[in-house]
Amino acid sequence: MKHYILLLLIAVSFCSCRSSRSMQKELNGMRSNLFYELISQEYTGKVKDSIYLDFIDYSNTDYYSTIKRKGGFFIPLIIFNRQQDRFRTRLGEHSLSQLYREFLTDALLTECNSSTCFQLIDNKDNQVPADSVYRLEVKVRQNETTGGVVLNESGFIWFEGGYITLQSARYRPAQTQLSISIRFSHHGDCLLDKTYNVKRKQSRRDRNYEDSYAANQGCLDDMAECLSLATREIVEEISQELNLLMSAR
């Protein structure tokens, strides 16, 4: 019995339980990119009019990304033990190479000026010409993207008191909940007032990493991709509805 307890204590002593603080330190130094890929059919007709896009002043997301421990387990046996640590990650703007509100503005300009019958003009300086009749106001109502990291470690007591550890890490698929409202007006009269909602989850990718640093970066890239694709869904829907309205006028 004493011999078993001694072996168990040896196994526990080699356990490398990761804290949220150490994982957060890794995450703080990482960055990822948002991206927008045009897949809509290009509009080749005559541009009918211009719409002025008001300055989007708020991304409605945390500034710093955070990672918190969300459980795990440790299985100690006589010659073998296994440990798993699970973490939940929340995306913040500091981890992105561009502010989300700027990305959303660029996405709207890119999509509308490629696939619609109107020209969308960035009105960030709030100087709409006197003869302009169309304005677009955009508000980000909800912007939350989360992911997770799972760390696994297995240990074996080897001959003559030696100990071997095998480590692996992976990230869990990212999820985005995004809600964006628009108000489209003509000479001050509202033509369209609508909120667009999308909930997106990335597909699972069975890939293991050698350490937590690589898994954290993979998780961050997956969250940035998820937010990018969720944004495209909404931007495409906005541009299509505006195009229908402008085509009928």
Asked if residues 226 and 145 have their Cβ atoms less than 8 Å apart, the reply is yes
Rounded average pLDDT over 73-79: 68
Confidence (pTM): 0.88
Token pair for residue 17? 């339980």
pLDDT of residue 2: 47
Where does the pLDDT of residue 56 fall: very low under 50, low under 70, confident under 90, or very high at 90 and above?
Answer: very high
Strands 80-90 and 66-76: antiparallel
Q: What is the DSSP string of 123-190?
A: ETT----TT--EEEEEEEEEEEEEEEEEEEEEEEE-GGG-EEEEEEEEEEEEEEEEEEEEEEEETTEE
- Model pLDDT for residues 96-148, shown as the tens digit of each residue: 999 999 999 999 999 999 999 999 999 887 777 656 689 999 999 999 999 99
**Structural domains counted in the chain:** 1
- Model pLDDT for residues 18-48, shown as the tens digit of each residue: 688 899 999 999 999 999 999 999 999 889 8
* CA distance from start to end of the chain: 87
Q: Which residue has the higher pLDDT, 221 or 165?
A: 221
pLDDT of residue 14: 46
| Residue ranges making up the domain that contains 143 | 2-247
Summary mean pLDDT of the chain:
88
Residues with Cβ < 8 Å from 2, sequence gap 6 or more?
A: none
Residue 216, pLDDT above cutoff 70:
yes
Residues with Cβ < 8 Å from 86, sequence gap 6 or more?
A: 69, 70, 71, 72, 148, 149, 150, 151
Rounded average pLDDT over 175-181: 98
